[in-house]
Structure 1
């Protein structure tokens, strides 16, 4: 196989607890540990506040015969592994789904978002 050191985007593979899912697109991840907000007063900028935030992974999956919305909705302690075109591996541990998952029959897609305590990029 040819070396693709210049490839930055275009493909991604996603597994949940080792099971592969068809990823249509819109894959996103956020490994951030904190959210910061600038604190300003009438006399100037005072500093910032910092609150913890969960890591997140999201994407649009293809609604295949072996995937159910109920299965996605019941995910509460799963490991997500994504391999990206740029060579990065994204790992989310102990993840749970948030928001409602809705299947769209016109293009057989389901948007899903997971959050958890640990999302890393290697």
Structure 2
């Protein structure tokens, strides 16, 4: 059976615990970022700068979520499962956000950074 779905529905988990994902999420595998080196006589090449792999987005707060415990998560496996069949896995991850919650939509901005990240199918 074909899967023509590309975007929209997703699942956000930390150490296997499913959280209420809200809106759009962003992830980065942590590959080096390339930037041009430009001199007075033209382009000389590029330099590479290491990036930390990450997952960020928003989740919806709920009564059972212990915010103080959540924002101190460290050494976790964080996954983002997408409608297109891809799963992004972030390993040895820590919470890297500020822990702010908006009351109007019960939204918590989340950002996890880790030691490694990869897309798997």
TM-score by length of 1: 0.91
- Deviation above 2 Å: which 4+ runs of structure 1? none
Structure-2 residue corresponding to 1:9: 7
Alpha-carbon separation, structure 2, partners of 1:9 and 1:40: 38
Structure-1 residue corresponding to 2:114: 116
Alpha-carbon separation, structure 2, partners of 1:84 and 1:108: 23
The RMSD of aligned alpha carbons is 1.2
Alpha-carbon separation, structure 1, partners of 2:105 and 2:57: 15
Alpha-carbon separation, structure 2, partners of 1:101 and 1:4: 40
Unaligned runs of 5+ in 1: none
Structure-1 residue corresponding to 2:53: 55
1:20 matched to 2:35 = no
CA deviations on 1:7-65 (whole Å, 9 max, x unpaired) are 10110011101111000122111113211211101011111111211101011000111
Larger mean CA deviation between 95-104 and 64-73 belongs to 64-73
Structure-2 residue corresponding to 1:95: 93
1:74 pairs, out of 72, 75, 80, with: 72
Structure-2 residue corresponding to 1:44: 42
Unaligned runs of 5+ in 2: none
Larger mean CA deviation between 54-63 and 70-79 belongs to 70-79
